[in-house]
Amino acid sequence: MRIRLWRRARALVCLTAVASILAGMVLSATVGLAGALPVAPTVGVLEPDGALFTPGGSYPSLGALNAPVIAWAPRPGGGLWEVATDGGVFTRNAPFLGSMGGHHLNQPIVGMTATPDGAGYWLVASDGGIFTFGDARFYGSTGAIRLNQPIVGMTATPDGAGYWLVASDGGIFTFGDASFYGSLAGRASAPLVSIAGTSGGYDIALADGSIWQFGVGDPGTEVAQLAIPASYQGAAHQSLAARKALAVALGLVGTPYVTGGSAPGGFDCSGLTQYAYAAAGIALPRTALQQFDAVPHVPLADVQPGDLLFFYPGITHVGIYIGNGLMVDAPHPGTTVQVEAFSWFGPVMGVGRPS
């Protein structure tokens, strides 16, 4: 199984420790990069239950979880870590250095990255709050800053003395010795899902699969398109479109609820599902009831990540299923887009699978 990232000149794009929710799965790629530590190449697909598929082998599901697994980070020297939205950290042949599991979080965790020597890691929340473990040092955060859009990922500088954060609208935030080389704020074709440090800057990935490069003398160039072979997609249980829609929705966690909202400035429940699936190339009508009537239905027993869950008689609420009894939705005025147990909303009135 391989996931290939191709430059226009058909050379392999160098992305170091990319953690993205692209296409509803977490992709992490570490390839040979000048100036980087010699880390074994690792590419994989991470499911919300923690199951991880890589060319070198697979890791089983973590079983019943309090929250879905959202990101993973290869450990320089071998092994890796996974992190759930509640801050719980799970080790795969790597030392446990601490977690935020069981602690109150203002916003869910959306990403993690390892220190260059593999003796620590950072976690980042959707508000840009930073949590350090092992030899990872704190260089600042956006936790006290009002963001236009939520943070969706982070990556460390090559020497580990700084890091970049990226928001879903393309905004870049620098800390420590991280330099600013430009951003896609205001010009991104799709929501941002990840950032990867390089020896001379950083690359960022969008939910539509495009990769943009930033560095000295390069204010932003589209350099690649993510290609996922059909054989690798076989590890997934739902369509690529469903995965992309789920990726987009999770990248919007923390966005305010706005009645009638259907854009990144604010969403209501059906505005979120409509926007997420539009980014995946599937048009949905505007209201929850209209969406219920427009999509094929499947039994609740067969629900898969990316499916739409509909609630209440008359169908007045909708969310996107993640797995493990959880969904991402925009609940009601006064809240934000969030991950929560769908059982809180009562009986599921129907399950839809857009196609």
Domain ranges of the chain: 4-227, 238-352
Q: What mean pLDDT is predicted for residues 318-327?
A: 86
Q: What mean pLDDT is predicted for residues 347-354?
A: 95
- Looking at 2-16, 40-54, 59-73, 75-89, which range is the least confident one? 2-16
Higher pLDDT, 305 or 39: 305
SS3 314: coil
In this predicted structure, the answer to whether residue 10 has a pLDDT above a threshold of 90 is no
- Looking at 5-19, 26-40, 70-84, 138-152, which range is the least confident one? 5-19
The predicted pLDDT at position 56 comes to 66
57-97 pLDDT, tens digit per residue, is: 788 888 878 877 888 888 988 899 999 888 999 999 999 99
In this predicted structure, the answer to whether residue 26 has a pLDDT above a threshold of 70 is no
Contacts for 102 with CB less than 8 Å, ≥ 6 apart: 88
DSSP string of 292-313?
HHHS-EE-GGG--TT-EEEETT
pLDDT class of 24 with cuts at 50, 70, 90: very low
Structural contact between residues 272 and 252, judged by C-beta atoms closer than 8 angstroms: yes
pLDDT class of 48 with cuts at 50, 70, 90: confident
**Chain-centre distance for alpha carbon 31:** 20
Topology annotation, domain 4-227: Methylamine Dehydrogenase; Chain H (2.130.10)
Topology annotation, domain 238-352: endopeptidase fold (from Nostoc punctiforme) (3.90.1720)
In this predicted structure, the answer to whether residue 160 has a pLDDT above a threshold of 70 is yes
The predicted pLDDT at position 32 comes to 24
Q: What mean pLDDT is predicted for residues 223-229?
A: 56
In this predicted structure, the answer to whether residue 36 has a pLDDT above a threshold of 80 is no
The predicted pLDDT at position 169 comes to 85
In this predicted structure, the answer to whether residue 325 has a pLDDT above a threshold of 90 is no
Q: Is 340 exposed, middle or buried (0-12, 13-18, 19+ CB in 10 A)?
A: middle
Q: What mean pLDDT is predicted for residues 200-212?
A: 81
d(CA 20, CA 315) in angstroms, rounded, equals 32
In this predicted structure, the answer to whether residue 308 has a pLDDT above a threshold of 90 is yes
Higher pLDDT, 295 or 60: 295
Contacts for 234 with CB less than 8 Å, ≥ 6 apart: none
d(CA 118, CA 214) in angstroms, rounded, equals 25
In this predicted structure, the answer to whether residue 21 has a pLDDT above a threshold of 70 is no
In this predicted structure, the answer to whether residue 41 has a pLDDT above a threshold of 90 is no
- Listed residue (59, 48, 120) closest to 86, CA to CA: 48
DSSP annotation of 47 reads: -
310-321 pLDDT, tens digit per residue, is: 999 999 999 999
pLDDT class of 326 with cuts at 50, 70, 90: confident
* pLDDT averaged over every residue in the chain: 80
Residues 225-238 as b or e (16 or more Cβ within 10 Å = b): bbebeeebbeebeb
The predicted pLDDT at position 239 comes to 62
The token pair that represents 218 in the structure block: 């390069």
Q: Is 300 exposed, middle or buried (0-12, 13-18, 19+ CB in 10 A)?
A: middle
- Looking at 136-140, 182-186, 218-222, which range is the least confident one? 218-222
Higher pLDDT, 229 or 341: 341
